[in-house]
Amino acid sequence: MQCEWLGERVAAPSLKHVVSNVLNKKTAGNWGPNATFRFPARDGTGGIWKAVAKTLPQDRFKFGQSVQRIDATNKVAHLSDGSSIAYRSMISTMPLDQITEMTEEAANLRPISRGLVYSSTHVIGVGIRGVLPPRIGDKCWLYFPEDDCPFYRATVFSNYSPYNCPQEDVKLRTLQTADPALSSQVDTQTERAGPYWSLMLEVSQSTQKPVDEEKLLADSIQGLVNTGLCSPDDEIVSTYHRKFHHGYPTPSLVRDGQLKQLLPELRDKYSIWSRGRFGSYKYEVANQDHSFMVRPPSLSLLDAARRRGRRRRFGAIRPPLLTFSTALTPPFSRYRSALRRSTMCFLAASSFRLWVSDVLPVLRRGIRRTSRRERSSEPDTDSRTRPYPSSTPTGVP
Ligand SMILES: Cc1cc2nc3c(=O)[nH]c(=O)nc-3n(C[C@H](O)[C@H](O)[C@H](O)COP(=O)(O)OP(=O)(O)OC[C@H]3O[C@@H](n4cnc5c(N)ncnc54)[C@H](O)[C@@H]3O)c2cc1C
Protein backbone atom coordinates (compact mmCIF):
# COMPACT_ATOMS: atom_id res chain seq x y z
CA MET A 1 0.00 0.00 0.00
CA GLN A 2 1.05 3.57 -0.56
CA CYS A 3 0.50 6.09 2.21
CA GLU A 4 -0.77 9.18 0.42
CA TRP A 5 -4.36 8.24 1.13
CA LEU A 6 -3.77 8.85 4.84
CA GLY A 7 -3.81 12.61 4.34
CA GLU A 8 -7.39 13.47 5.16
CA ARG A 9 -8.64 10.11 6.32
CA VAL A 10 -6.63 9.42 9.39
CA ALA A 11 -6.31 11.77 12.32
CA ALA A 12 -2.71 12.62 13.12
CA PRO A 13 -2.70 13.10 16.90
CA SER A 14 0.19 14.64 18.72
CA LEU A 15 1.98 12.07 20.88
CA LYS A 16 2.12 14.57 23.75
CA HIS A 17 -1.67 14.98 23.75
CA VAL A 18 -2.28 11.25 23.42
CA VAL A 19 -0.14 10.52 26.50
CA SER A 20 -1.60 13.40 28.47
CA ASN A 21 -5.20 12.45 27.60
CA VAL A 22 -4.62 8.81 28.55
CA LEU A 23 -3.07 9.79 31.89
CA ASN A 24 -5.81 12.31 32.63
CA LYS A 25 -8.59 10.04 31.26
CA LYS A 26 -9.69 12.82 28.93
CA THR A 27 -11.41 12.43 25.58
CA ALA A 28 -9.61 14.23 22.76
CA GLY A 29 -11.47 17.15 21.29
CA ASN A 30 -11.69 17.86 17.59
CA TRP A 31 -9.27 15.12 16.50
CA GLY A 32 -10.17 14.73 12.85
CA PRO A 33 -12.85 14.61 10.20
CA ASN A 34 -14.90 12.01 12.07
CA ALA A 35 -14.86 13.66 15.48
CA THR A 36 -18.45 14.74 14.87
CA PHE A 37 -20.89 13.47 12.28
CA ARG A 38 -24.57 13.36 11.50
CA PHE A 39 -26.67 10.23 11.20
CA PRO A 40 -30.36 9.88 10.34
CA ALA A 41 -32.48 9.28 13.46
CA ARG A 42 -34.56 6.73 11.56
CA ASP A 43 -34.04 4.36 8.65
CA GLY A 44 -30.26 4.14 9.02
CA THR A 45 -27.79 5.32 6.38
CA GLY A 46 -30.08 4.19 3.60
CA GLY A 47 -32.64 6.71 4.84
CA ILE A 48 -30.48 9.51 3.40
CA TRP A 49 -30.53 8.12 -0.10
CA LYS A 50 -34.16 6.99 0.02
CA ALA A 51 -35.04 10.59 0.87
CA VAL A 52 -32.99 11.82 -2.08
CA ALA A 53 -34.55 9.22 -4.37
CA LYS A 54 -38.05 10.45 -3.50
CA THR A 55 -37.19 13.87 -4.92
CA LEU A 56 -36.26 12.45 -8.33
CA PRO A 57 -38.52 11.36 -11.19
CA GLN A 58 -39.47 7.78 -10.38
CA ASP A 59 -39.57 6.68 -14.01
CA ARG A 60 -35.78 7.12 -14.12
CA PHE A 61 -35.24 4.19 -11.79
CA LYS A 62 -34.94 0.61 -12.94
CA PHE A 63 -34.31 -1.96 -10.21
CA GLY A 64 -33.56 -5.66 -10.14
CA GLN A 65 -31.54 -5.74 -13.35
CA SER A 66 -27.88 -5.42 -14.03
CA VAL A 67 -25.81 -4.32 -16.98
CA GLN A 68 -24.32 -7.48 -18.48
CA ARG A 69 -22.58 -6.16 -21.56
CA ILE A 70 -21.67 -2.79 -23.02
CA ASP A 71 -21.47 -2.30 -26.75
CA ALA A 72 -19.17 0.69 -26.66
CA THR A 73 -19.05 1.10 -30.43
CA ASN A 74 -22.80 1.59 -30.75
CA LYS A 75 -23.18 2.91 -27.18
CA VAL A 76 -25.73 0.40 -25.99
CA ALA A 77 -25.92 -1.19 -22.52
CA HIS A 78 -27.41 -4.69 -22.47
CA LEU A 79 -29.30 -5.65 -19.31
CA SER A 80 -29.85 -8.98 -17.58
CA ASP A 81 -33.52 -9.13 -18.60
CA GLY A 82 -32.56 -9.01 -22.28
CA SER A 83 -33.49 -5.36 -22.75
CA SER A 84 -31.00 -2.70 -23.78
CA ILE A 85 -30.54 1.01 -23.29
CA ALA A 86 -28.87 3.38 -25.75
CA TYR A 87 -26.73 6.13 -24.29
CA ARG A 88 -24.64 9.04 -25.39
CA SER A 89 -22.67 9.39 -22.18
CA MET A 90 -22.74 6.84 -19.39
CA ILE A 91 -22.01 7.60 -15.74
CA SER A 92 -21.23 4.28 -14.15
CA THR A 93 -20.82 3.25 -10.51
CA MET A 94 -19.96 -0.35 -11.43
CA PRO A 95 -16.54 -1.50 -10.25
CA LEU A 96 -13.93 -0.32 -12.73
CA ASP A 97 -12.47 -3.81 -13.06
CA GLN A 98 -15.90 -5.16 -14.02
CA ILE A 99 -16.77 -2.52 -16.58
CA THR A 100 -13.70 -3.37 -18.66
CA GLU A 101 -14.69 -7.06 -18.55
CA MET A 102 -18.13 -6.37 -19.99
CA THR A 103 -16.91 -3.94 -22.65
CA GLU A 104 -15.33 -5.86 -25.51
CA GLU A 105 -13.83 -2.73 -27.03
CA ALA A 106 -11.94 -2.10 -23.79
CA ALA A 107 -10.26 -5.52 -23.79
CA ASN A 108 -6.87 -3.84 -24.05
CA LEU A 109 -7.47 -2.28 -20.63
CA ARG A 110 -8.11 -5.58 -18.87
CA PRO A 111 -4.49 -6.36 -18.04
CA ILE A 112 -4.44 -3.07 -16.12
CA SER A 113 -7.88 -3.26 -14.50
CA ARG A 114 -7.31 -6.86 -13.38
CA GLY A 115 -4.39 -5.55 -11.36
CA LEU A 116 -6.57 -3.23 -9.27
CA VAL A 117 -6.50 -4.39 -5.67
CA TYR A 118 -9.52 -4.62 -3.38
CA SER A 119 -10.66 -6.53 -0.33
CA SER A 120 -13.98 -8.17 0.39
CA THR A 121 -15.90 -7.23 3.52
CA HIS A 122 -18.13 -9.36 5.71
CA VAL A 123 -20.70 -7.33 7.59
CA ILE A 124 -22.02 -9.10 10.67
CA GLY A 125 -24.86 -7.75 12.78
CA VAL A 126 -25.58 -8.93 16.32
CA GLY A 127 -28.66 -7.89 18.33
CA ILE A 128 -28.35 -8.31 22.09
CA ARG A 129 -30.94 -8.27 24.87
CA GLY A 130 -30.19 -5.96 27.78
CA VAL A 131 -28.83 -2.52 28.50
CA LEU A 132 -25.64 -1.35 26.82
CA PRO A 133 -22.79 -2.13 29.24
CA PRO A 134 -21.23 0.99 30.83
CA ARG A 135 -17.79 -0.23 29.68
CA ILE A 136 -18.82 0.56 26.09
CA GLY A 137 -20.42 3.88 27.06
CA ASP A 138 -21.08 6.34 24.28
CA LYS A 139 -18.56 4.86 21.82
CA CYS A 140 -19.68 4.83 18.20
CA TRP A 141 -17.07 2.49 16.81
CA LEU A 142 -13.93 0.72 18.02
CA TYR A 143 -10.97 -0.88 16.25
CA PHE A 144 -9.52 -4.30 17.08
CA PRO A 145 -6.04 -4.89 15.66
CA GLU A 146 -5.43 -7.89 17.97
CA ASP A 147 -5.83 -11.48 16.78
CA ASP A 148 -8.37 -12.56 19.41
CA CYS A 149 -11.31 -11.75 17.12
CA PRO A 150 -11.89 -11.91 13.35
CA PHE A 151 -13.30 -8.36 13.09
CA TYR A 152 -11.21 -5.24 12.79
CA ARG A 153 -13.99 -2.85 13.71
CA ALA A 154 -17.17 -2.92 15.76
CA THR A 155 -19.83 -0.25 15.37
CA VAL A 156 -22.33 0.29 18.18
CA PHE A 157 -25.26 1.18 15.96
CA SER A 158 -27.76 1.39 18.82
CA ASN A 159 -25.70 4.32 20.14
CA TYR A 160 -26.26 6.23 16.88
CA SER A 161 -30.01 6.23 17.32
CA PRO A 162 -32.47 4.35 19.57
CA TYR A 163 -34.39 3.51 16.39
CA ASN A 164 -31.51 1.42 15.08
CA CYS A 165 -32.70 -1.52 17.17
CA PRO A 166 -36.14 -2.75 18.27
CA GLN A 167 -37.93 -0.78 20.97
CA GLU A 168 -38.09 -2.21 24.48
CA ASP A 169 -41.66 -3.53 24.19
CA VAL A 170 -40.88 -5.64 21.12
CA LYS A 171 -40.80 -9.32 22.10
CA LEU A 172 -38.00 -11.45 20.65
CA ARG A 173 -36.78 -14.97 21.29
CA THR A 174 -33.23 -15.52 22.46
CA LEU A 175 -31.26 -17.47 19.84
CA GLN A 176 -28.26 -18.32 22.02
CA THR A 177 -25.99 -16.86 24.64
CA ALA A 178 -22.71 -15.26 23.55
CA ASP A 179 -20.99 -18.35 24.93
CA PRO A 180 -23.19 -21.07 23.38
CA ALA A 181 -22.31 -23.44 26.23
CA LEU A 182 -24.52 -21.28 28.49
CA SER A 183 -27.55 -21.31 26.19
CA SER A 184 -29.22 -24.08 28.17
CA GLN A 185 -29.37 -21.77 31.19
CA VAL A 186 -31.67 -19.23 29.50
CA ASP A 187 -35.15 -19.41 28.00
CA THR A 188 -34.66 -19.79 24.24
CA GLN A 189 -38.29 -20.75 23.56
CA THR A 190 -40.37 -17.76 24.64
CA GLU A 191 -40.51 -14.35 23.00
CA ARG A 192 -39.67 -11.76 25.63
CA ALA A 193 -39.39 -7.97 25.78
CA GLY A 194 -36.14 -5.94 25.57
CA PRO A 195 -34.37 -3.56 26.01
CA TYR A 196 -31.92 -4.24 23.20
CA TRP A 197 -28.62 -2.95 21.85
CA SER A 198 -26.73 -3.80 18.71
CA LEU A 199 -23.32 -4.21 17.13
CA MET A 200 -22.11 -4.27 13.54
CA LEU A 201 -18.82 -6.08 12.96
CA GLU A 202 -16.65 -5.86 9.87
CA VAL A 203 -14.28 -8.59 8.75
CA SER A 204 -11.94 -8.09 5.81
CA GLN A 205 -11.04 -10.86 3.40
CA SER A 206 -8.51 -11.04 0.60
CA THR A 207 -5.95 -13.41 -0.86
CA GLN A 208 -3.61 -12.25 1.87
CA LYS A 209 -6.21 -12.49 4.62
CA PRO A 210 -8.30 -15.65 4.25
CA VAL A 211 -11.49 -16.12 6.24
CA ASP A 212 -13.35 -19.27 7.24
CA GLU A 213 -16.71 -18.12 5.94
CA GLU A 214 -18.64 -21.10 7.33
CA LYS A 215 -17.53 -20.41 10.88
CA LEU A 216 -17.34 -16.64 10.65
CA LEU A 217 -20.53 -15.79 12.53
CA ALA A 218 -19.67 -18.16 15.41
CA ASP A 219 -16.05 -16.93 15.45
CA SER A 220 -17.22 -13.33 15.55
CA ILE A 221 -19.54 -13.96 18.49
CA GLN A 222 -16.66 -15.67 20.28
CA GLY A 223 -14.58 -12.59 19.42
CA LEU A 224 -17.19 -10.41 21.14
CA VAL A 225 -16.60 -12.36 24.34
CA ASN A 226 -12.80 -12.37 23.91
CA THR A 227 -12.67 -8.61 23.49
CA GLY A 228 -15.07 -7.89 26.34
CA LEU A 229 -17.74 -6.37 24.12
CA CYS A 230 -20.15 -9.06 25.31
CA SER A 231 -20.36 -11.13 28.45
CA PRO A 232 -20.55 -14.91 28.00
CA ASP A 233 -24.16 -14.93 29.29
CA ASP A 234 -25.40 -12.09 27.05
CA GLU A 235 -28.52 -13.17 25.16
CA ILE A 236 -28.29 -12.82 21.38
CA VAL A 237 -31.67 -12.18 19.78
CA SER A 238 -30.71 -11.63 16.17
CA THR A 239 -27.80 -12.14 13.78
CA TYR A 240 -27.01 -10.98 10.24
CA HIS A 241 -24.19 -11.85 7.87
CA ARG A 242 -23.57 -10.51 4.39
CA LYS A 243 -20.46 -10.59 2.23
CA PHE A 244 -19.63 -7.65 -0.03
CA HIS A 245 -17.37 -9.02 -2.73
CA HIS A 246 -16.01 -5.56 -3.55
CA GLY A 247 -15.70 -4.16 -0.04
CA TYR A 248 -12.80 -1.70 0.07
CA PRO A 249 -10.56 -0.48 -2.77
CA THR A 250 -6.94 -0.93 -1.68
CA PRO A 251 -4.64 2.03 -2.35
CA SER A 252 -1.81 -0.03 -3.84
CA LEU A 253 1.53 1.40 -4.92
CA VAL A 254 0.58 1.22 -8.59
CA ARG A 255 -3.02 2.33 -8.28
CA ASP A 256 -2.61 5.95 -9.36
CA GLY A 257 -0.83 4.88 -12.53
CA GLN A 258 -3.56 2.35 -13.29
CA LEU A 259 -6.30 4.94 -12.84
CA LYS A 260 -4.51 7.45 -15.05
CA GLN A 261 -4.72 4.98 -17.90
CA LEU A 262 -8.14 3.48 -17.28
CA LEU A 263 -10.37 6.46 -16.50
CA PRO A 264 -9.37 8.81 -19.34
CA GLU A 265 -9.51 6.05 -21.95
CA LEU A 266 -12.99 4.93 -20.91
CA ARG A 267 -14.14 8.54 -20.94
CA ASP A 268 -12.48 9.73 -24.15
CA LYS A 269 -13.00 6.65 -26.30
CA TYR A 270 -16.32 5.34 -25.06
CA SER A 271 -17.97 8.24 -23.16
CA ILE A 272 -18.05 6.12 -20.01
CA TRP A 273 -17.52 8.19 -16.89
CA SER A 274 -16.62 5.72 -14.17
CA ARG A 275 -17.31 7.27 -10.78
CA GLY A 276 -17.97 6.40 -7.14
CA ARG A 277 -16.47 3.97 -4.63
CA PHE A 278 -15.32 1.29 -7.06
CA GLY A 279 -15.88 3.39 -10.16
CA SER A 280 -13.06 5.76 -9.12
CA TYR A 281 -11.30 3.05 -7.09
CA LYS A 282 -9.84 5.43 -4.56
CA TYR A 283 -10.12 4.41 -0.93
CA GLU A 284 -9.61 7.96 0.23
CA VAL A 285 -12.57 9.25 -1.77
CA ALA A 286 -14.84 6.24 -1.35
CA ASN A 287 -17.21 7.27 1.42
CA GLN A 288 -20.71 8.49 0.70
CA ASP A 289 -19.88 12.17 0.87
CA HIS A 290 -16.93 11.67 -1.48
CA SER A 291 -18.83 9.38 -3.83
CA PHE A 292 -21.51 12.04 -4.08
CA MET A 293 -19.01 14.84 -4.56
CA VAL A 294 -16.85 13.23 -7.24
CA ARG A 295 -19.82 13.28 -9.56
CA PRO A 296 -20.30 17.03 -10.10
CA PRO A 297 -17.20 17.56 -12.27
CA SER A 298 -18.29 15.06 -14.88
CA LEU A 299 -21.89 16.18 -14.64
CA SER A 300 -21.07 19.83 -14.99
CA LEU A 301 -18.84 19.09 -17.98
CA LEU A 302 -21.67 17.22 -19.64
CA ASP A 303 -24.04 20.04 -18.81
CA ALA A 304 -21.61 22.60 -20.18
CA ALA A 305 -21.43 20.66 -23.43
CA ARG A 306 -25.18 20.74 -23.66
CA ARG A 307 -25.30 24.45 -22.98
CA ARG A 308 -22.77 25.14 -25.69
CA GLY A 309 -25.48 24.34 -28.18
CA ARG A 310 -24.99 20.64 -28.59
CA ARG A 311 -28.25 20.13 -26.79
CA ARG A 312 -28.76 16.48 -26.37
CA ARG A 313 -30.78 14.01 -24.46
CA PHE A 314 -28.46 11.61 -22.69
CA GLY A 315 -30.46 8.61 -23.86
CA ALA A 316 -32.72 6.65 -21.62
CA ILE A 317 -30.10 6.37 -18.90
CA ARG A 318 -29.47 10.06 -18.49
CA PRO A 319 -29.00 10.08 -14.74
CA PRO A 320 -31.45 12.02 -12.60
CA LEU A 321 -28.42 13.06 -10.59
CA LEU A 322 -27.42 15.25 -13.51
CA THR A 323 -30.13 17.75 -12.69
CA PHE A 324 -29.87 17.22 -8.98
CA SER A 325 -26.15 17.74 -8.69
CA THR A 326 -25.91 20.77 -10.89
CA ALA A 327 -28.65 22.45 -8.90
CA LEU A 328 -26.80 21.89 -5.68
CA THR A 329 -23.50 23.03 -7.05
CA PRO A 330 -22.75 26.68 -6.46
CA PRO A 331 -22.19 29.26 -7.70
CA PHE A 332 -25.82 29.14 -8.72
CA SER A 333 -25.30 31.71 -11.45
CA ARG A 334 -23.34 29.13 -13.45
CA TYR A 335 -26.36 26.90 -13.45
CA ARG A 336 -29.15 29.46 -13.69
CA SER A 337 -30.63 27.80 -16.76
CA ALA A 338 -30.51 24.39 -15.12
CA LEU A 339 -32.30 25.78 -12.12
CA ARG A 340 -34.98 27.39 -14.26
CA ARG A 341 -35.57 24.15 -16.09
CA SER A 342 -36.27 22.15 -13.01
CA THR A 343 -38.22 23.12 -9.93
CA MET A 344 -37.54 19.59 -8.81
CA CYS A 345 -34.07 20.71 -7.90
CA PHE A 346 -35.44 23.15 -5.33
CA LEU A 347 -37.62 20.43 -3.86
CA ALA A 348 -34.60 18.19 -3.62
CA ALA A 349 -32.55 20.87 -1.98
CA SER A 350 -35.20 21.83 0.58
CA SER A 351 -36.20 18.32 1.58
CA PHE A 352 -32.57 17.49 2.05
CA ARG A 353 -31.62 20.76 3.70
CA LEU A 354 -30.02 19.18 6.73
CA TRP A 355 -27.39 17.34 4.77
CA VAL A 356 -26.96 20.09 2.25
CA SER A 357 -26.25 22.61 4.98
CA ASP A 358 -23.19 20.53 5.78
CA VAL A 359 -22.07 19.82 2.26
CA LEU A 360 -22.87 23.10 0.54
CA PRO A 361 -19.99 25.13 1.93
CA VAL A 362 -17.63 22.32 1.02
CA LEU A 363 -19.00 22.05 -2.50
CA ARG A 364 -18.69 25.80 -2.86
CA ARG A 365 -14.98 25.64 -2.13
CA GLY A 366 -14.59 22.44 -4.16
CA ILE A 367 -16.34 23.75 -7.28
CA ARG A 368 -14.10 26.79 -7.48
CA ARG A 369 -11.09 24.53 -7.66
CA THR A 370 -12.91 22.09 -9.91
CA SER A 371 -13.90 24.85 -12.32
CA ARG A 372 -10.28 25.81 -12.72
CA ARG A 373 -9.33 22.20 -13.33
CA GLU A 374 -12.18 21.59 -15.76
CA ARG A 375 -11.00 24.42 -17.92
CA SER A 376 -7.63 22.78 -18.23
CA SER A 377 -7.95 19.03 -17.92
CA GLU A 378 -9.66 15.84 -16.81
CA PRO A 379 -11.83 16.24 -13.71
CA ASP A 380 -9.88 14.96 -10.79
CA THR A 381 -11.06 12.54 -8.16
CA ASP A 382 -8.16 13.15 -5.87
CA SER A 383 -9.23 13.71 -2.30
CA ARG A 384 -6.59 16.31 -1.72
CA THR A 385 -8.30 18.64 -4.16
CA ARG A 386 -11.55 18.40 -2.24
CA PRO A 387 -11.80 19.58 1.31
CA TYR A 388 -13.23 16.99 3.67
CA PRO A 389 -16.63 17.97 5.05
CA SER A 390 -16.59 19.07 8.66
CA SER A 391 -18.92 16.20 9.40
CA THR A 392 -19.45 13.21 7.13
CA PRO A 393 -22.96 11.80 6.76
CA THR A 394 -22.33 8.65 8.72
CA GLY A 395 -18.92 8.97 10.16
CA VAL A 396 -17.18 5.62 9.91
CA PRO A 397 -14.33 5.76 7.39
C1 LIG B 1 -18.63 -2.06 5.56
C2 LIG B 1 -18.73 -0.65 4.98
C3 LIG B 1 -18.96 0.42 5.85
C4 LIG B 1 -19.07 1.69 5.33
N5 LIG B 1 -19.31 2.73 6.19
C6 LIG B 1 -19.46 3.97 5.70
C7 LIG B 1 -19.75 5.06 6.56
O8 LIG B 1 -19.90 4.91 7.75
N9 LIG B 1 -19.86 6.29 6.02
C10 LIG B 1 -19.75 6.50 4.68
O11 LIG B 1 -19.89 7.65 4.24
N12 LIG B 1 -19.49 5.49 3.83
C13 LIG B 1 -19.34 4.24 4.31
N14 LIG B 1 -19.07 3.20 3.46
C15 LIG B 1 -18.89 3.51 2.06
C16 LIG B 1 -20.22 3.66 1.31
O17 LIG B 1 -20.89 2.44 1.32
C18 LIG B 1 -19.87 4.10 -0.11
O19 LIG B 1 -19.24 5.34 -0.04
C20 LIG B 1 -21.05 4.29 -1.02
O21 LIG B 1 -21.88 3.18 -1.02
C22 LIG B 1 -20.51 4.54 -2.42
O23 LIG B 1 -21.56 4.80 -3.30
P24 LIG B 1 -21.41 4.43 -4.83
O25 LIG B 1 -22.69 4.81 -5.48
O26 LIG B 1 -20.16 4.98 -5.37
O27 LIG B 1 -21.20 2.85 -4.86
P28 LIG B 1 -22.15 1.70 -4.38
O29 LIG B 1 -22.98 2.08 -3.21
O30 LIG B 1 -21.31 0.47 -4.29
O31 LIG B 1 -23.14 1.58 -5.61
C32 LIG B 1 -22.76 0.95 -6.79
C33 LIG B 1 -24.03 0.45 -7.40
O34 LIG B 1 -23.75 -0.05 -8.69
C35 LIG B 1 -24.53 -1.21 -8.85
N36 LIG B 1 -23.95 -2.07 -9.88
C37 LIG B 1 -22.76 -2.72 -9.85
N38 LIG B 1 -22.59 -3.44 -10.96
C39 LIG B 1 -23.70 -3.24 -11.71
C40 LIG B 1 -24.13 -3.70 -12.97
N41 LIG B 1 -23.39 -4.54 -13.71
N42 LIG B 1 -25.35 -3.30 -13.44
C43 LIG B 1 -26.10 -2.44 -12.72
N44 LIG B 1 -25.74 -1.95 -11.52
C45 LIG B 1 -24.56 -2.35 -11.02
C46 LIG B 1 -24.53 -1.88 -7.49
O47 LIG B 1 -25.62 -2.77 -7.37
C48 LIG B 1 -24.67 -0.67 -6.58
O49 LIG B 1 -26.01 -0.36 -6.34
C50 LIG B 1 -18.95 1.90 3.94
C51 LIG B 1 -18.74 0.83 3.08
C52 LIG B 1 -18.62 -0.44 3.60
C53 LIG B 1 -18.40 -1.60 2.66
| pLDDT tens digit sequence for 68-84 | 999 999 999 999 999 99
Q: Which of 221, 249, 277 is the last residue of a domain?
A: 249
363 lies in the same domain as 214: no
Q: Is residue 167 part of a domain?
A: yes
pLDDT by residue (tens digit) across 288-339? 887 877 654 556 555 655 555 444 443 333 333 332 232 233 333 344 444 3
Q: Is residue 56 part of a domain?
A: yes
330 lies in the same domain as 369: yes
113 lies in the same domain as 257: yes
155 lies in the same domain as 189: yes
**One-letter amino acid for residue 306 of the chain:** R
Task: Flag residues of the chain having pLDDT under 70.
Answer: 7-9, 294-397
Measured from the CA of 123, which atom of ligand 1 is nearest? 1
The reply to whether ligand 1 has any atom less than 6 angstroms from the CB of 293 is no
The reply to whether ligand 1 has any atom less than 6 angstroms from the CB of 154 is no
Q: What residue owns the CA closest to ligand 1's atom 43?
A: 66
The reply to whether ligand 1 has any atom less than 6 angstroms from the CB of 48 is no
Q: Is residue 309 part of a domain?
A: yes
Cα–Cα dist 192/195, whole Å: 10
Quote the number of domains for the chain.
Answer: 2
123 lies in the same domain as 107: no
Q: Is residue 150 part of a domain?
A: yes
Sheet containing 76-79: give its strands across: 67-71, 76-79, 84-86
Cα–Cα dist 274/375, whole Å: 20
149 lies in the same domain as 207: yes
Q: Which of 227, 249, 271 is the last residue of a domain?
A: 249
**Residue range(s) defining the domain that contains residue 264:** 46-117+251-385
275 lies in the same domain as 370: yes
245 lies in the same domain as 307: no
134 lies in the same domain as 237: yes
372 lies in the same domain as 261: yes
The reply to whether ligand 1 has any atom less than 6 angstroms from the CB of 291 is yes
Q: Is residue 7 part of a domain?
A: no
- CA distances in angstroms from 283 to 7, 89, 164, 205, 255, listed in the order given: 12, 25, 27, 16, 10
Q: Is residue 17 part of a domain?
A: no
pLDDT by residue (tens digit) across 185-230? 999 999 999 999 999 999 999 999 999 999 999 999 999 999 999 9
Q: Is 127 exposed, middle or buried (0-12, 13-18, 19+ CB in 10 A)?
A: buried
pTM of the predicted structure, to 2 decimals: 0.77
Q: Which residues contact 28 (CB under 8 A, 6 or more apart)?
A: 13, 17, 18, 21, 35
Q: Which of 216, 249, 282 is the last residue of a domain?
A: 249
The CATH number of whichever domain residue 310 belongs to comes to: 3.50.50.60
148 lies in the same domain as 221: yes
